[in-house]
Amino acid sequence: MSKKEEILRKPDWLKIKLNTNESYTGLKKMMREKNLHTVCEEARCPNIHECWAERRTATFMILGDTCTRACRFCAVKTGLPTELDWQEPERVADSVQLMNLKHVVVTAVARDDLRDGGAAVFAETVRAIRRKNPFTSIEVLPSDMGGKEENLRLLMDAKPDILNHNIETVKRMTPRVRARAKYDRSLEFLRRAKEMQPNIPTKSSLMVGLGETKEEILEVMDDLRENHVDIMTIGQYLQPTKSHLKVEKYYSPDEFKELQQIALSKGFSHCEAGPLVRSSYHADEQVNAAAKHKQMLGEEKAQEA
């Protein structure tokens, strides 16, 4: 074994605890019965056992299970998607009700085959969840939907409680890592979302370990803040299969802690950072922490006045 292979052997802090209790198996059964997809399964998320078995939370993936893009970091299958399923929003809403969720995350495959990028189904899913679960907060995690302003407006008019769109990697590496996506277009997408609905928090996620520098990570933070992003998550990239990009570095928990502190110092209302952190990991806690931060800032401004 070469020296580089020894260095890149998965460290102890990335070991995952498996838990297939009744909550896990029951949730898996319900997803199949409702013909629903989750990014937890499709993207091989390392936290699936914790979220399904212990926290009983899941991130629903709508618009099918086939993505029109082939990003070199992602395990979701790619190809020609099936036709739209207009009954899907109601099935998602019913499942949220059965799970009694206080916070739900809805993401989707990229649908570049559709003029609206899937925005109409996304918006209807938000409305369906809200009709049947009025006390559940709703987080949406769309692709850039082609970068078209009208698509984003269609989604934002449904008024989700939080808009999440992932920058994924640093600017230099975007062409290599993200198929068809553009770094500046993602920033514009996040900025427009805030302009359309100033009171809806925005959020973005960054993977590290693909060969980026610390300076480039800090540049991403600055770019997100310049576009008024409120919440940031930072996690370790893990290679899903041998055909995907290789891990160039495993960041230590201490390095993630440092990045978290830097992000907070730059003005993010909340930053979740750690080896196994993913965009929707403990999403309910992220939103609550950001809300408390906003309330605190409001109280401070009131006192100053």
Structure confidence at residue 233 (pLDDT): 95
User: What average pLDDT does the segment 14-28 reach?
Assistant: 61
Confidence of residue 1 (pLDDT cuts 50, 70, 90): very low
Nearest to 257 by CA among 245, 272, 269, 244: 272
Which of the given ranges, 30-39, 98-107, 246-255, has the highest pLDDT on average? 246-255
> Which one has a higher pLDDT value, 159 or 243?
159
Does the residue 295 lie in any domain?
Answer: yes
Q: What is the CATH number of the domain that holds 207?
A: 3.20.20.70
CA 122 to CA 118: how far, in whole Å?
A: 6
Does the residue 14 lie in any domain?
Answer: no
Q: Which residues pair with 221 in a beta bridge?
A: none
**CA torsion through residues 69, 35, 283, 157, sign:** positive
pLDDT tens profile 180-225: 889 999 999 999 999 999 999 999 999 999 999 999 999 999 999 9
Does the residue 2 lie in any domain?
Answer: no
Does the residue 10 lie in any domain?
Answer: no
Does the residue 265 lie in any domain?
Answer: yes
Task: List the structure tokens of 214.
Answer: 């610390």
Structure confidence at residue 102 (pLDDT): 81
Does the residue 259 lie in any domain?
Answer: yes
Does the residue 100 lie in any domain?
Answer: yes
> What's the domain count of the chain?
1
Confidence of residue 85 (pLDDT cuts 50, 70, 90): confident
Q: Which domain holds residue 116?
A: 32-304
pLDDT tens profile 130-169: 999 999 989 999 999 989 999 999 999 999 999 999 999 9
Percent residues over pLDDT 90 in the chain: 49
